[in-house]
Amino acid sequence: MSDFKPAVEISERHVQEERPSRPRFFGRLLKAEPERALLDDLARMNETVLDPVVVKRIERRVDLLVIPALAVCYMFYYIDKTTLSYAAIFGIKEDLALGKTEYQWLSSIFYFGWLFWAFPTNLLMQKFPIGKYLAVNIFFWGVLLMAQAAAQDFKDMMVLRILSGAAESTADPAFVLITGLWYTRSQQPIRIGLWYSANGIGIALGGLLGYAIGHIKGALPSWRYEFLIIGALCSFWALVMFTFVPDSPYYKSYWFKDEERLIVLSRKRHDQAGADTRRVKLGQIVEAFCDPKIYLFFLLGFSSNIPNGGISNFGTLIIQGFGFDTLETTLMQIPYGFFICFCILFSVWLNTKAPKNSRTLLMIVFLLPNIIGSCMMAWGPETSKPTRLIGYWLTGSYNATFVLGLSLVSGNVGGQTKRAVANAAVFLGLCTGNIVGPFLFKTSEAPKYTTGIVGMLVANIVEVFVILALRTLFLTVE
């Protein structure tokens, strides 16, 4: 490796012909196409043997820059999504005089905004530097969350929830794409698991923040402080992301020399990932819509997020229904969050040790605690608070299944445009499931919510069949 020299002279010689003509203002915001010299150097490096010591050193730096930034962002992202649930036990339904189904609508309407913007934002991620584009969206979702503290009625909150959903639709697919840019196919499952496990930390921290905010004795109701504080934290982290997180190894950054960027890219030579380009390739879009995997990815996102739509918005109300007071309810979310974190990290660790082609089987294994927990909540003795609470905690295991499913997308779909469509399919399913989930939790069935919990159970069983269909398809292709 020490004899390899990037063609710096070539980059300088081609600078004029490589520079695309762009509009003066908007065009400067677009990401540049990878330089021809860089691609030439990459082709040359792909014919060499990389020094594993150098590769490990660079990968450690990538891990330090990318994974903590995404993990903290995902932690705030999930705290953000559960603020309405905490607001429910802090009195938002009474203060805004929400009608019989209006709380369910506020839970679901968020994902209408997500659904509307999911596909356009996946295409825009190809047009703009992805790290900067993600940071801008994070900043605006923080601002919109703070604005919800000023809502005076259902209509105000509904508009803000739709806009928040649109802003947040960027997060999950952007995280998956960023992971795919920096890591090899074999490295992606554990890296996705690392940042995704932060949603468990977010739930635990959200419980602590909720407990602390519940003790604030100020001029505003506690739920308004919840929106203000969480929103401000989100916007602050967006500024950190914008400043410090590199966009892509295809482009110059403060953190990596040219040869180091080439090493990051060259170690992915067998992944057939394609270059990080802003061009949207129509052929790959057509290919994606003709690929049955895309539709199964949609169904995977849909079935796995019907439970999420219910638990993330009604979890605190379910726990309160077991007989806990408001502040105790916030604390009961802490073990739930840590169980989610454990399941995700354990699943991605097992995935690295398991035999080849066993990822889909692991996905099914981690659905089993969720199925058992749903049964314990639905049919456990109403007088047994511990039984139903443990059942609730067990329902967190579905997060591990979804993480392994995300790595199926990033590792089994080639071509940047096709991968963007595949990501959009998963997250269209995600938001559709989150729209449906809250409506299964009927106010008339509070506090047990039998229909909602049985609906979670049915969704888990459907998800098992979707996973088996994906497994059959993957094995057939191989």
Q: 253 — phi, psi (to 5°)?
A: -150, 165
**AA letter at 148:** Q
What pLDDT, on the 0 to 100 scale, is given for residue 384? 85
14 in any annotated domain:
no
In-domain check, residue 320: yes
What is the domain count for the chain? 1
Residue 275 lies in a domain: no
Residues near 18 by beta carbon (within 8 Å), at least 6 away in sequence: 11, 33, 35, 36, 37
- Could you read off the pLDDT tens digit of each residue along the chain, which spans 478 residues? 445 555 544 444 444 444 444 455 555 667 666 677 777 777 888 788 888 898 899 899 999 999 999 999 999 888 887 888 899 889 999 999 988 789 989 988 998 998 888 778 878 888 888 889 999 999 998 999 999 999 999 999 999 999 999 998 888 889 988 988 889 888 888 898 899 899 899 989 988 888 999 888 888 999 999 999 999 999 999 999 998 888 888 777 778 888 888 888 888 877 755 555 556 677 788 887 888 888 999 999 999 999 988 888 888 889 998 989 888 998 999 999 999 999 999 998 998 888 888 899 999 999 999 999 999 999 988 888 899 999 999 999 999 999 888 878 766 776 777 877 887 788 789 888 989 999 899 888 888 889 999 999 999 999 999 999 999 988 887 6
Q: Is 357 left (phi over 0), alpha (psi -120 to 50) or beta?
A: left
Residue 257: inside a domain: no
Helices 102-127 and 130-147 pack at an angle, to 10 degrees, of: 160
**pLDDT of 266:** 83
Residue 151 has a pLDDT of: 94
Residue 255 lies in a domain: no
Identify whether 265 is part of a domain.
no
Confidence (pLDDT) at 362:
95
| Residue 78, pLDDT score | 82
Residue 214: predicted pLDDT: 87
> Does some domain include residue 235?
yes
Whole-number pLDDT of residue 168 = 87
Cβ proximity of 378 and 453 under 8 Å: yes
Measured distance CA(454)–CA(478) in Å, rounded? 37
**pLDDT for 370:** 94
**HEC assignment per residue over 307-352:** HHHHHHHHHHHHHHHCCCCHHHHHHHHHHHHHHHHHHHHHHHHHHH
Q: Which domain holds residue 189?
A: 51-248+283-477
Note the pLDDT of residue 280.
Answer: 66
The predicted pLDDT at position 273 comes to 57
Task: Give the residue from 350, 377, 344 showing the smallest Cα distance to 450.
Answer: 377
Q: Is residue 177 part of a domain?
A: yes
CATH code for position 78 = 1.20.1250.20
In eight-state DSSP terms, residue 48 is S
* Token duo for residue 466: 């979707």
